[in-house]
Amino acid sequence: MSQADAAFAKGLEGIIAGETTICSVEQGGLFYRGYEIHDLAKNATFDQVAFLLLEGHKPSPAELDRFKAEIRKERPIPHHVTRFLQETGPALKAGTAVPMDVLRSAVSILAHTDPDCQSVAADANLRKAKRLLAKVPTIIGQMQNVIDGRPLVAPETGGDPALDHAANLMYLMSGQKPSPEYARVVDVSLILYAEHDFNASTFTSRVIAGTLSDMHGAVTGGIAALKGPLHGGANEMAMEMLKEIMHDVGEKGIGTKAVDDWMQRAFDTKRKLMGFGHRVYKNGDHRAPILHALGRAIAEKDTRNPGGHAALQWFRLGEQVQAIMLDKKKIHPNVDFPCGLTYFTMGIPVPQYTPIFVASRVSGWCAHVMEQHANNRLIRPLSAYRGEPPRKWNA
């Protein structure tokens, strides 16, 4: 057996691929720089968490004010990025481009006018991280305005200076300022999404950074990895799946055997149910119940009918699906399942769920890029060769 064979694990399962001081993901808990996720979701804001991840410690009130002012100043996006979003409008409307693709390309071309782009020095990286954190919501918001055929919302300021990250993102996407309750729920969802150690997108960003390539490139790669339905794309796919079940069983089918039958057909065809399962958490994702409770509380008061049904009916359907998955497969929901339900209840367009994930995770990616650059070694694993034995070209 070769050295590579001895260490091989499909999907790198169980392999420790590096060291970090940013986050720990364990069966027993999720911690950002030592702070447990329930504690953060209850007592912190996303802006504080972003500071914690990027600057390495809990901010004092003065540090937080300074940080928020720096972010607000960086919210406007360059004209060439706005033009790109406008020119991509037809492709977005035609569906050949989806918001995650457009966000990925927009972040990539943001680099072209960033004065620090080519530097991997710590101070340049921190400046770029703040710019990326500030500009991603503006890109998402203005893209949604292009899709909806609305004038750009506050393009000179990148939103409303009085609003924090989550509320400003919602304002940019709709032109409407969210209620404090909606803003807080999105804020908590961003706290939950901010960081998750060596998940696929963060690992991608670290591999790119490990070649001493730049932060914009690493974040662009992170977005490409996050898009996949096995990773961040699951929040959109979970909601699409619930829509499919609702369509097939009807509202009257909720709470009945019709949903069990739908699920059994999915199991029989070995279909992967989106928003369920996790590589690390086998007894449940610590983030999921936090968001489920907040989303359900909103749904209980909701007076609109998202997708033509009361918001609470979507939650009831989701809860039934969860119960069947646990009973039949012993698989728990991950954070993307309640996220889909919660954002749907709030009327957020489904194709923007994963871009919103980016508006949060960009803080984690940038923290990891900085950590990688600060103590770098090229990330270059081995592969276990399974091909032809050595042979002659002219045999």
Give the catalytic positions in this structure: 231, 278, 336
Among 277, 306, 351, 355, interactor with ligand CMC by CB under 6 A: 277
| Smallest gap from residue 281 Cβ to ligand CMC (A) | 8
> 3-state DSSP: the chain helix, strand, coil percent, rounded to 5?
60, 5, 35
278 makes contact with ligand CMC (CB under 6 A)? yes
Which region among 26-34, 102-110, 149-157, 327-335 touches ligand CMC (by CB under 6 A)? 327-335
| Nearest residue (CB) to ligand CMC, 51 versus 276 | 276
- Report the nearest approach of ligand CMC to the CB of residue 322 (Å): 12
The distance of closest approach from Cβ of residue 338 to ligand CMC in the complex, given in angstroms and rounded to an integer, is 11
CA of 319: how far to CAs of 98, 112, 292, 293, 323, in Å?
Answer: 29, 46, 10, 11, 6
Cα–Cα distance between 378 and 208 in angstroms, integer? 9
Number of Cβ within 10 Å of residue 260's Cβ equals: 17
Site string for ligand CMC, 336-355 (x = CB under 6 A): x-------------------
Report how far residue 30's alpha carbon sits from residue 196's, in angstroms, rounded to the nearest whole number.
8
Query: Could you tell me the two tokens for 246?
Result: 């609702």
Q: Which is nearer to ligand CMC, 152 or 192 (CB)?
A: 192
CA nearest to 217, candidates 226, 204, 229, 228:
204
Residue 209: CB atoms within 10 A of its CB come to: 28
Q: For residues 177 and 231, which CB has a smaller minimum distance to ligand CMC in the complex? A: 231
Q: Are 318 and 64 in contact (CB under 8 A)?
A: no
Site for ligand CMC contains 124 (CB under 6 A): no
Among residues 296, 286, 285, which one has the least CA distance to residue 346?
296
For ligand CMC, the binding residues in 226-255 under the rule CB under 6 A are: 230-232, 234
**Site size toward ligand CMC, by CB under 6 A:** 19
By DSSP bridging, strand 35-36 and strand 23-26 are: unpaired
d(CA 83, CA 168): 21
Q: Indicate whether 335 belongs to the interface with ligand CMC (CB under 6 A).
A: yes
Residue 235: CB minimum distance to ligand CMC, A: 7
CB atoms within 10 A of CB 308: 9
Say whether residue 272 binds ligand CMC (CB under 6 A).
yes
CB of 328 to ligand CMC, least distance (A): 10
Question: What does residue 17 show for φ and ψ, rounded to 5 degrees?
Answer: -105, 5
DSSP string, 143-172: HHHHHHTPPPSSTTTTS-TTS-HHHHHHHH
Task: By CB under 6 A, tell whether 334 contacts ligand CMC.
Answer: yes
Residue 331 engages ligand CMC in binding (rule: CB under 6 A): yes
Residue nearest ligand CMC, CB atom distance: 277
Q: How far apart are CA 52 and CA 194, in angstroms?
A: 11
User: Looking at 65-73, 135-143, 224-232, 306-314, which segment touches ligand CMC (CB under 6 A)?
Assistant: 224-232
Instruction: Name the one range near ligand CMC by CB under 6 A: 21-29, 35-43, 276-284, 298-306.
Output: 276-284
Binds ligand CMC by CB under 6 A, chosen from 276, 315, 343, 344: 276
Binding mask 10-29 for ligand CMC (x = CB under 6 A): -x------------------
- Min dist CB 154 to ligand CMC, Å, is 30
Instruction: Report how far apart, in Å, the C-alpha atoms of 82 and of each of 14, 218, 283 are.
Output: 43, 22, 44
Q: Which residues sit opposite 36 in a β-bridge?
A: 31
Q: Which stretch in 74-82, 117-125, 273-281, 300-308 sits in contact with ligand CMC by CB under 6 A?
A: 273-281
Between 26 and 300, CB nearer to ligand CMC: 26
The correct pick among 40, 173, 241, 274 for binding ligand CMC (CB under 6 A) is: 274
Q: Residues in the site for ligand CMC, rule: CB under 6 A?
A: 11, 199, 230-232, 234, 272-279, 329, 331, 334-336
